[in-house]
Structure formats: structure tokens, C-alpha cells
């Protein structure tokens, strides 16, 4: 059954990228997930569904399947792209896997020239030749043969698993057909343009200026790109080019493709790869980044010379200079077309990373970031057949840098752990990237009328007003000398406006919760992180950190103030000029969260006394240790600071914070922290579904325990364990007589059940004639029981002419970003011809 599914998935990969994603998800991983139909009865259990999580380090991917089978580990946190390991996982009965699609492979083409400084010819300076590379490469071959099915073809500068791809499904599909594998067309274009450049083909080899035209391909050697590079080199040799293959690792290659002037002619093609660790709901800036000199200051980007229309569209999309989502969509669609014509990059595949896990374990993986990038893993991790128990994660690296809550380690697997130790106001949907409320009750987003913002979910509202005036009592800055916030009224006596106002209403009892050390959350936990936001950027502050300044300046460009509207329940207003297309994202970016002020206080004391520093940069400049709240020499310093803080009742920025403290809060907090340190041996205090129980730095092992006082029911997020990717079947006549209409039936299901109509965002269809030209497009009409109907009238079919045609359908859902495609081939025949349907 598994093999059959896999073959089906492979067949689907060959058919359509999006469909392949759906098909592969319905493969082994999906089969294992099917067991989730009966999630465990959690009773009144709160917080995590398992009792203990252990993280340990394992760098050998080859061992993983075997170690999971023998029960040494349950989950390997890193995505695997090795096909041998993938096949091993696929064939194992004890091991399942999750899938993620955040990695892409492309060919970066050198656009300099057409003559390099060394006199050699660079054919890729010609836009048409770059475009022809799209027809030359067979993306299906790359996905299926080189990546062994662990990839899907990709044509556009949009990841096929991201919402923008679904929004542009019709355009995408049309472009994918337009730029499908067509080596004859590629050869023709290359031949014409090479001749136009003054090159001639002698004895099958292109010559320019009396010398053979030699192309240099920088081929990365660490992964499947080595074979991709060889494949492209072979194709180009077949086209009459001499090819020099330079096999290089990341560092060696970067010296050439990033480090040198592209005009110097050190390379022609580089096998590039890009990674995204979250589902990015707005990739409109990709055009600017990948095709224009605005992308990066490096020499390669400065050599890009897009046509003015592409440049203008890319800039507008990057600045979010559009009034409506429809306008954005049109800009994106046109931008995609122009990007394909430009083809400074030839996108090849979106890789599928498989994340191995034991078959009896389930958890929510992010469609882009996998498990390591998933915010929901600690909330959904469980054994399929029981509650509680111990789950062991292996990761290729752990405890890479010191942990502190201000500027500590941001390594992927470290942050994966720390995310489970602290709760968050909102939770990203792992399948759509939209945010759901976690600790907040509701939010109101107010935007200026000209701001294009869309709301999808109903836990928040969007209001449009002509102008948003920032109230005078809103805090906008920090006065280090006087130790107080500066209000808008003081800083901008003439008043100030903002493009957005976000009012966040936290859930009841938000400030009654307890930290892991048993102390109660208070308003000071909300206010102190705000003070640090400003104090660390103020040169007169003892906490000033030069490395933080650029980040702060970006924040300050948009920030227009914040204020506490109420405390029971907690309501906060934030004013900003920064816009995101989704209102949910605006709330997620604005909603402040809490940090335990008493642990921050120890860090502040240590940094003020120049014994420790929050950031690596400041630590190195002052030649003091980078603060770690979980291990190492920092602990002795922090312990001493705890003693002093308890002795003196220290409260940082007491002039502001004291008014937000409860009675006896200071002594209670420090007492709780002292007890915590005595018991746990570290200072990491959070409010997440797990607490940090043990840290073994040399053994590279971290032990988390379930936090039993976590406020939420244990099954709160279980609906996100499995992506509900629509499964689509398209039926219709094989032959249609011209002059008559035709009806096609579409069945959309998920695990055999009809897909809820309310969850279907859009069902678009595209009608292509035998030449692959788009003749007509429209939207399917809903019928009952997960069925949809496409009716084509006689006029639409007549426009096809006689011959073979194709009806393509793109289904997008509100439950998952990934669109699903289906296709139906049929022939239009002259009137009177007997059709297959009429054959007795």
C-alpha cells in the first residue's frame, strides 16, 4: 500500500507541482497521520500531552532511522534531504515522517556582459538566453530523478507551498505550462541569440572571437546540487558550449559568486539554494530581492538590470504600494511574467525535507520550517496511543550559544527548545502562516483608509478610518537620565498620526498566571521588556549595545507609541506605520508579551557591572562572558547578583516599575527564584507548556518537564496536527463535439470525506488549447457533497478549435496554504463525430 501510494505520489509529481505536494503528503507520512482520527481523550489534563521531552545531539543522519526503530529517539528535528535515508524511512514500519517545503534550488545566472572584462563571452547577459534555460532544463527530471522524489518542480520566484502561490494559482499554472520542458525551443532561441552575439557554431561547438565559448559552472558539492550542476553542464554541452565544472563547497563558492565582480567572468552559473523556515504569507518582495539591484549590496545584485516595468513593479510590491489586494495580485501576476522573461534565476525545484519521527508519535510540523520551525510542536506533541510519557528528540546541534532572553542564542534548535518554555500571545498556523489567538481574547486593527489590509479569521476586527491620531499619553520613547517613558505629547507637541492602531485585549486572568518558579505574572513583566527596547539603544544607558542599534532604528522608523489602556483585563494599544497585508500578522507583530522581570533584573545588574553581557557583540567588545542563564560561568555571577538583589530589594528602573508591582512582589519573586535555582540549577524561568528541568552541556542533553499549571486544556491545538490538503478528482468527457457544451465534475475530499465548502477558498479552472495557450478561465460552481461543477458552453469550446485540450483546476483552501491541482485532457472534435461517450 505504501509503495502504491508512493508511486502515485511520484506520478503526481510528474503531473503538477502542487498536486505532487498533496500526493506526497498523502503518502507514508499521511498514512501514519490517518491514525489521528481518534485523538486521545485528554480528560482535564492541561498543558502538554507528554510528561517529559529530552533533547540530545545526533549529527549522523544515516543512523537516525535505525535509532528511531530501536527506540533510542522518537523524533529527529532536522529535515532530511538524503534520498537513501528517505527510502529507508519510507520502507520502515516503525518510522514515519513529517514533510516541509521551505528549501528551494535554482540556477543563479551571471548577467554581466555580454563580454566579460577578460574578453570571454557571457551568453547569459542576454535575457532571451536566460529565459531559454527554462525550456532547456527538465524540472520533472530534476525533481524525480536527481532528488529521488524529494522535490517538486518550481518555476516561479514563489515557493509552491506558500499562500501567494495559491493566490496566483491560475497565473502560476499558465506560466508553468508556458515554461515547461521544451528543448527544441530552447535550442532555437539559444542558436538565434548566440548568432546575434556574433558567435558561430563550428563542429558542434560555439566559438566567439576565434575561441570556443566556455561556460563555468560553480557546482555545490554538499548535496544533490552536485548532480544538478552536472545535469545542467551536460545540457549546455549538448547545446555546443564547452563547460568547465568547478565543484565547490559553500565557503569556496561564495568567494567566487558573491565575492567577485560578476564582470570579471569567474563564473556563469551557480547552483543556488534558499531556505525559508516559516510559511511566509507575503513574498511580494521576492521580485525585488531576486531580480533587482535593491536585493543586496553585493556585486552580483548590482549587475542586475531588470526591464523598467519589472523594476517598477518589484519596487511597488516591496514598498507595499498598492491600494487593494486585487491590485497587489495583478502586480504580482505581471511581475511573475516579467521575472520569467528576465530569468536572472532559473528556479528548479522546491525540496521536500522529511523529518523522521517514530510512527507512534504525532506533532504539528510547519509546512515550511518543519518541526524545528514549528511554534506548535510543544502544544501538540504526543504518543498516538497514550497520554504522558517521555519523548526523545535528536538534533544535529544543541546549546550552540548561550541562552538569555534578551540577545541569546538564536540557533534553530536552541530556539526550538526555548519556544516550548515560554507562551506566546498568538500562535502561527503551521499550514497557512495566519495567526490564531493564544493568550489574547481579541484584537482590533484600525488602519488608514488607503492601507490594503485583509482580515481572514474572526477573532479580530479591522476598521478603516481617514486618520489615526496617536493620543498624547502614549509612550513613544525612554528618558534614560530621568528613568521614565517619554509621551507623544512631550515629544510631538503638535500631535502625531499613525497608519495603524492595534488594540490587543488579553484573555481574562492573563496577569494571574504563574511563572515556572511559582511567582505570579505582573504588569512589570510587560513593561520591563519595553524599557529594555529603548534603553539598549541609548548611548547614555549602561545597557547600551551598539550591535542592537541598527535593529532599533528599524523599529523606530515605524513605531508611533504604545499605551496600557486597561489592566483587568489587560488591554494594550500599539501605534505603528508598518503594514502587513494580513491583519493577523499586524497583531502578531505588535502584541507585546511578558518576560519575568526578576530574572531580567539579574541580567541587568550583571551587565551594568560589566561582568556579563546580554549580546555576543557587547561581550566580545568588553571581553566579558556572554550571558547564559542556564550554564557556565554566568551562573555564579547571576547567583551573586541574586543575593544582592534580595538583600537590597532591587528593582530595575524602579521609578517606573514599582507602580506595577504587587505588594511584597519583590521579596516573593526573589525568594521564588532562589528556590528555583536551588532546585533546577539555572535561571531560565518561563511560562510555556514545559519548564527547563535539566541541562547537561557537555553531554549535550536538555530535559524539559511538563508544566502542570499551564492554563490551557491539553487538546487545545490538536486540530493542527495534520494539514488538511484537499484531494481533488476531476472527471469529464474525453471527447466533446464542437458546437455543444460540456460539463466537468470535480470532487474535493480529505481522507475520503467531502471537503467542507466553507473551507474552500476558491476553485479556479483554466482551459488550454493544444498549443498550450490559455483560452478561458473561470471559477467552478459548488454542488453538494464536496462536488463542484465546471460548465463550458459551446462558444468557449469552439474557441479551442479541434484537437487535444487540457482543463486545469486549482483548488485553494483556507485550512492550508498549499494549493491542489488537477487536470483533465479531452479532445474537441467536429460536429457529428462519434465521441467515446457515444461509443456503444
Partner 1 sequence: MSTAPGVASPSRAGSLRDLRRIAAFTARRLVALFLTVMVGVYLTIVIANMGGEVDELRKLQIRSTVAEQVRADPAFADMPAEERNELIQRRVQQQIERRRLDEPFILRSIDYLQQAAVLDLGRAEEMHSDRGSREVYRIIVERLPATLLLFGTANLLVFFVSVFAALRLSRHYGSISDRAVIALAPSSAAPGWFYGIFLILIFAFIVPVLPAGGMVDVPPPDGAWAYAVSVLRHMVLPVAAMFISSIFISIYSWRTFFLIHSSEDYVEMARAKGLPAGMIERRYILRPTLSPIITSFALMLIGLWSGAIILEQVFNWPGLGTLLFQAIGHRDTPVIIGSVVIFAYLLALTVFLLDILYAILDPRVRVGIEGDNQ
**Residues 543-562 contacting partner 1, CB under 8 A:** 546-547, 550-551, 553-555, 557-558
Q: Smallest distance from the beta carbon of 633 to partner 1, in angstroms? A: 5
Q: Smallest distance from the beta carbon of 619 to partner 1, in angstroms? A: 7
Quick one: which of 128, 214, 237, 282 contacts partner 1 (CB under 8 A)? Answer: 282
The 10 Å Cβ neighbour count of residue 823 is: 16
Residue whose cell numbers read 565543484: 247
Distance CA 197, CA 760 (A): 51
Residues 704 and 52 sit within 8 Å (Cβ to Cβ): yes
Distance CA 363, CA 346 (A): 35
Polymer length of the chain:
840
**Residues 376-395 contacting partner 1, CB under 8 A:** 392
Considering the rule CB under 8 A, would residue 60 count as an interface residue with partner 1? yes
Residue whose cell numbers read 507520512: 29
Considering the rule CB under 8 A, would residue 593 count as an interface residue with partner 1? no
**Residues 230-269 contacting partner 1, CB under 8 A:** 251, 254-255, 258-259
Considering the rule CB under 8 A, would residue 72 count as an interface residue with partner 1? yes
Task: Tell me phi and psi for residue 387, to 5 degrees.
Answer: -95, 155
Q: Smallest distance from the beta carbon of 547 to partner 1, in angstroms? A: 5
Considering the rule CB under 8 A, would residue 632 count as an interface residue with partner 1? yes
For partner 1, the closer of residues 411 and 436 by Cβ is: 411
Considering the rule CB under 8 A, would residue 626 count as an interface residue with partner 1? yes
Considering the rule CB under 8 A, would residue 640 count as an interface residue with partner 1? no
Total residues contacting partner 1 by CB under 8 A comes to 75
For partner 1, the closer of residues 202 and 620 by Cβ is: 620
**Residues 294-333 contacting partner 1, CB under 8 A:** 294-298, 315, 318-320
Distance CA 643, CA 571 (A): 35
Q: Smallest distance from the beta carbon of 105 to partner 1, in angstroms? A: 16
- 615: β partners: none
C-alpha cell at 828: 474537441
Considering the rule CB under 8 A, would residue 482 count as an interface residue with partner 1? no
The 10 Å Cβ neighbour count of residue 520 is: 15
Residues 769 and 808 sit within 8 Å (Cβ to Cβ): no
For partner 1, the closer of residues 8 and 303 by Cβ is: 303
DSSP assigned state of 264: G
**Residues 450-469 contacting partner 1, CB under 8 A:** none
Residue whose cell numbers read 525535507: 353
728 vs 426, 659, 763, CA distance in Å? 32, 59, 11
Q: Smallest distance from the beta carbon of 248 to partner 1, in angstroms? A: 12
Considering the rule CB under 8 A, would residue 740 count as an interface residue with partner 1? no
Stretch that binds partner 1, among 179-187, 196-204, 412-420, 619-627 (CB under 8 A): 619-627
Quick one: which of 28, 240, 402, 686 contacts partner 1 (CB under 8 A)? Answer: 402
Q: Which of 811, 784, 792 is CA-nearest to residue 744?
A: 792
Residues 6+ away with beta carbon under 8 Å from 127: 341, 342, 343
Considering the rule CB under 8 A, would residue 277 count as an interface residue with partner 1? yes
- 807: β partners: 767, 824
Residues 690 and 705 sit within 8 Å (Cβ to Cβ): yes
Considering the rule CB under 8 A, would residue 50 count as an interface residue with partner 1? no
Considering the rule CB under 8 A, would residue 276 count as an interface residue with partner 1? yes
For partner 1, the closer of residues 283 and 748 by Cβ is: 283
For partner 1, the closer of residues 564 and 613 by Cβ is: 613
C-alpha cell at 761: 477558498
Distance CA 33, CA 79 (A): 18
Considering the rule CB under 8 A, would residue 289 count as an interface residue with partner 1? yes
Q: Smallest distance from the beta carbon of 640 to partner 1, in angstroms? A: 17
Considering the rule CB under 8 A, would residue 571 count as an interface residue with partner 1? no
Stretch that binds partner 1, among 9-17, 414-422, 660-668, 700-708 (CB under 8 A): 700-708
337 vs 65, 171, 176, 342, 406, CA distance in Å? 43, 8, 10, 9, 43
Amino acid at each position: 500500500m505504501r509503495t502504491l501510494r508512493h508511486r502515485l505520489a511520484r506520478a503526481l509529481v510528474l503531473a503538477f507541482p502542487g498536486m505532487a505536494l498533496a500526493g506526497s503528503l498523502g503518502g507514508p507520512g499521511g498514512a501514519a497521520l490517518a491514525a489521528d482520527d481518534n485523538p486521545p481523550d485528554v480528560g482535564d489534563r492541561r498543558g502538554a500531552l507528554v510528561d517529559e521531552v529530552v533533547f540530545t545531539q545526533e549529527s549522523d543522519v544515516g543512523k537516525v532511522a535505525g535509532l528511531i526503530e530501536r527506540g533510542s529517539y522518537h523524533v529527529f528535528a532536522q529535515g532530511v534531504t538524503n534520498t537513501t535515508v528517505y527510502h529507508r524511512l519510507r520502507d520502515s514500519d516503525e518510522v514515519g515522517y513529517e514533510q516541509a517545503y521551505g528549501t528551494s534550488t535554482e540556477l543563479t545566472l551571471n548577467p554581466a556582459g555580454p563580454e566579460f572584462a577578460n574578453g570571454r563571452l557571457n551568453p547569459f547577459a542576454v535575457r532571451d538566453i536566460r529565459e531559454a534555460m527554462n525550456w532547456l532544463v527538465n524540472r520533472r527530471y530534476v525533481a524525480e530523478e536527481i532528488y529521488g522524489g524529494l522535490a517538486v518542480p518550481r518555476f516561479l520566484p514563489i515557493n509552491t507551498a506558500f499562500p501567494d502561490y495559491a493566490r496566483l494559482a491560475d497565473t502560476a499554472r499558465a506560466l508553468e505550462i508556458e515554461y515547461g520542458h521544451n528543448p527544441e525551443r530552447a535550442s532555437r532561441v539559444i542558436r538565434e541569440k548566440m548568432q546575434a552575439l556574433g558567435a558561430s557554431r563550428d563542429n558542434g561547438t560555439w566559438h566567439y572571437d576565434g575561441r570556443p565559448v566556455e561556460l563555468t559552472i560553480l557546482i555545490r558539492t554538499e548535496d544533490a546540487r552536485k548532480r544538478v550542476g552536472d545535469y545542467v553542464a551536460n545540457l549546455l554541452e549538448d547545446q555546443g558550449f564547452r563547460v568547465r565544472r568547478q565543484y565547490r563547497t559553500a565557503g569556496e563558492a561564495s568567494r567566487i559568486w558573491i565575492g567577485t565582480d560578476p564582470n570579471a567572468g569567474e563564473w556563469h552559473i551557480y547552483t543556488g539554494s534558499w531556505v525559508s523556515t516559516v510559511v511566509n504569507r507575503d513574498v511580494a518582495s521576492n521580485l525585488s530581492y531576486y531580480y533587482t539591484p535593491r536585493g543586496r549590496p553585493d556585486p552580483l545584485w548590482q549587475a542586475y538590470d531588470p526591464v523598467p516595468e519589472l523594476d517598477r513593479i518589484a519596487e511597488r510590491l516591496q514598498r507595499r504600494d498598492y491600494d487593494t489586494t486585487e491590485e497587489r495580485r495583478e502586480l504580482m501576476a505581471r511581475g511573475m511574467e516579467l521575472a520569467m522573461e528576465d530569468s536572472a534565476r532559473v528556479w528548479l525545484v522546491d525540496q521536500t525535507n522529511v523529518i523522521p519521527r517514530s510512527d507512534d508519535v504525532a506533532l504539528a510540523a510547519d509546512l515550511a520550517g518543519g518541526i524545528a520551525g514549528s511554534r506548535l510542536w510543544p502544544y501538540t506533541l504526543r504518543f498516538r496511543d497514550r497520554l504522558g510519557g517521555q519523548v526523545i528528540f535528536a538534533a544535529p546541534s544543541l546549546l550552540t550559544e548561550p541562552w538569555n532572553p534578551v540577545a541569546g542564542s538564536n540557533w534553530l534548535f536552541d530556539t526550538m527548545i526555548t519556544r516550548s518554555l515560554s507562551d506566546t500571545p498568538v500562535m502561527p498556523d503551521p499550514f497557512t502562516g495566519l495567526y490564531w489567538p493564544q493568550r489574547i481574547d481579541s484584537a482590533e486593527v484600525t488602519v488608514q483608509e488607503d492601507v490594503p489590509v485583509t482580515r481572514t479569521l474572526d477573532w479580530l476586527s479591522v476598521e478603516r478610518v481617514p486618520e489615526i491620531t496617536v493620543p498624547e499619553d502614549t509612550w513613544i520613547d525612554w528618558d534614560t537620565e530621568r528613568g521614565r517613558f517619554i509621551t507623544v505629547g512631550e515629544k510631538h507637541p503638535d500631535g502625531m498620526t499613525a497608519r495603524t492602531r492595534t488594540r490587543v485585549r488579553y484573555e481574562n486572568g492573563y496577569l494571574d498566571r504563574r511563572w515556572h518558579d511559582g511567582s505570579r505574572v505582573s504588569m512589570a513583566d510587560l513593561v520591563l521588556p519595553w524599557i529594555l527596547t529603548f534603553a539598549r539603544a541609548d548611548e547614555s544607558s549602561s545597557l547600551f549595545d551598539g550591535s542592537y542599534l541598527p535593529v532599533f532604528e528599524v523599529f523606530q522608523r515605524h513605531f508611533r507609541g504604545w499605551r496600557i489602556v486597561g489592566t483587568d483585563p489587560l488591554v494594550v494599544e500599539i501605534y505603528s506605520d508598518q503594514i502587513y497585508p494580513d491583519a493577523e500578522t499586524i497583531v502578531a507583530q505588535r502584541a507585546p508579551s511578558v518576560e519575568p522581570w526578576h530574572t531580567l533584573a539579574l541580567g541587568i545588574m550583571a551587565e551594568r557591572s560589566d561582568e556579563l553581557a546580554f549580546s555576543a557583540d557587547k561581550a566580545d567588545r568588553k571581553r566579558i562572558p556572554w550571558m547564559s542563564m542556564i550554564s557556565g560561568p554566568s551562573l555564579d555571577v547571576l547567583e551573586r547578583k541574586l543575593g544582592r538583589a534580595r538583600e537590597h530589594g532591587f528593582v530595575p528602573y524602579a521609578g517606573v516599575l514599582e507602580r506595577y508591582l504587587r505588594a511584597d512582589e519583590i521579596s516573593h519573586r526573589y525568594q521564588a527564584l532562589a528556590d528555583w535555582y536551588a532546585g533546577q540549577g539555572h535561571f531560565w524561568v518561563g511560562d510555556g507548556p514545559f519548564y527547563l528541568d535539566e541541562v547537561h552541556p557537555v553531554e549535550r542533553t536538555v530535559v524539559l518537564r511538563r508544566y502542570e499549571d499551564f492554563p490551557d486544556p491539553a487538546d487545545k491545538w490538536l486540530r493542527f496536527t495534520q494539514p488538511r490538503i484537499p484531494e481533488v478528482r476531476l472527471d469529464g468527457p474525453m471527447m466533446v463535439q464542437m458546437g455543444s457544451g460540456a460539463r466537468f465534475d470535480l470532487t474535493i475530499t480529505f481522507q475520503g470525506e467531502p471537503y467542507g465548502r466553507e473551507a474552500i477558498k476558491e476553485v479556479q479552472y483554466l482551459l488550454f488549447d493544444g498549443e498550450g495557450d490559455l483560452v478561458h478561465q473561470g471559477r467552478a460552481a459548488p454542488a453538494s457533497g464536496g462536488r463542484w461543477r465546471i460548465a463550458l458552453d459551446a462558444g468557449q469550446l469552439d474557441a479551442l478549435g479541434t484537437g487535444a485540450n487540457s482543463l486545469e483546476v486549482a483548488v485553494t483552501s483556507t485550512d492550508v496554504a498549499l494549493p491542489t491541482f488537477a487536470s483533465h485532457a479531452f479532445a474537441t472534435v467536429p460536429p457529428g463525430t462519434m465521441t467515446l461517450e457515444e461509443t456503444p
